[in-house]
Structure 1
Amino acid sequence: MGEISIKINIADRVYPLKINVEEEEVVRRAAKLINDRIKEFQENYAVKDKQDLLSMCVLYYATATIKAEKNASNEDTEVAEKVYHLDSLLNDFFAKQK
């Protein structure tokens, strides 16, 4: 499809963006998640400075991303090990059939 212009509000600031039509829902959802997290931090901690709240948000989401990447990598390794083991079992089975 094509590009569209949208305005996203994050931490009471408006950011004009040009994005692909297919990305609009994801971008709007991401902005909502960020604003919800900022609100949560603001309510639970004595932090009023938007810059500090945004920094806390960035740290939260970066940590979550690193954890997700690590889990995905571990799962990939486990799957590869299982496939290798299955391959070995099949090779042994077919070797005995000859």
Structure 2
Amino acid sequence: MGEISIKINIADRVYPLKINMEEEEVVRRAAKLINDRIKELQEKYAVKDKQDLLSMCVLHYASASIHAEKKASNEDTDVAEKVYQLDSLLNDFFSKGK
């Protein structure tokens, strides 16, 4: 698939982008999430400065990303521990069967 040119509106500013065609849906969805979050923050805190709203939005998504990374890491550790336990049980089972 090739590159396409699109225009994304974030915080009332238009950004022309060249992206891979298969990324278009993700990029447009991300822009919508950002704009929705900005609107929510603007209503909740009565902030008018777009720079402040963008900074708050970035902080929100960066925090969410860090939480997701920690959760994935913990889940990986849990899975590895369970695999180790299962391996031990199988080793015990097969060693007793001989």
TM-score (normalised: structure 1) = 0.99
- The answer for unaligned runs of 5 or more in structure 1 is none
Hey, what does 1:37 align to over in structure 2?
37
For 1:11-60, what per-residue CA distance to the aligned partner results, in whole angstroms no more than 9, with x for missing partners?
A: 00000000000000000000000000000000000210000000000000
Hey, what does 2:47 align to over in structure 1?
47
Q: In the aligned structure 2, how far is the partner of 1:41 from the partner of 1:89? A: 52
- The answer for unaligned runs of 5 or more in structure 2 is none
Hey, what does 2:85 align to over in structure 1?
85
**Structure 1 segment 53-64 matched on structure 2, within 5 A:** 53-64=53-64
Q: In the aligned structure 2, how far is the partner of 1:95 from the partner of 1:5? A: 62
Q: State the one-letter code of the partner of 1:59.
A: L
Q: In the aligned structure 2, how far is the partner of 1:46 from the partner of 1:8? A: 25
Q: In the aligned structure 2, how far is the partner of 1:68 from the partner of 1:84? A: 24
User: Structure 1 residue runs of 4+, over 2 Å off?
Assistant: none
Q: How many residue pairs end up in the alignment? A: 98
* RMSD between superposed Cα atoms in Å: 0.4
Hey, what does 1:65 align to over in structure 2?
65
Identity, % of aligned positions: 88
Hey, what does 1:20 align to over in structure 2?
20
User: SS in structure 2 opposite 1:16?
Assistant: strand
Q: In the aligned structure 2, how far is the partner of 1:88 from the partner of 1:42? A: 55
User: SS in structure 2 opposite 1:8?
Assistant: strand
TM-score (normalised: structure 2) = 0.99
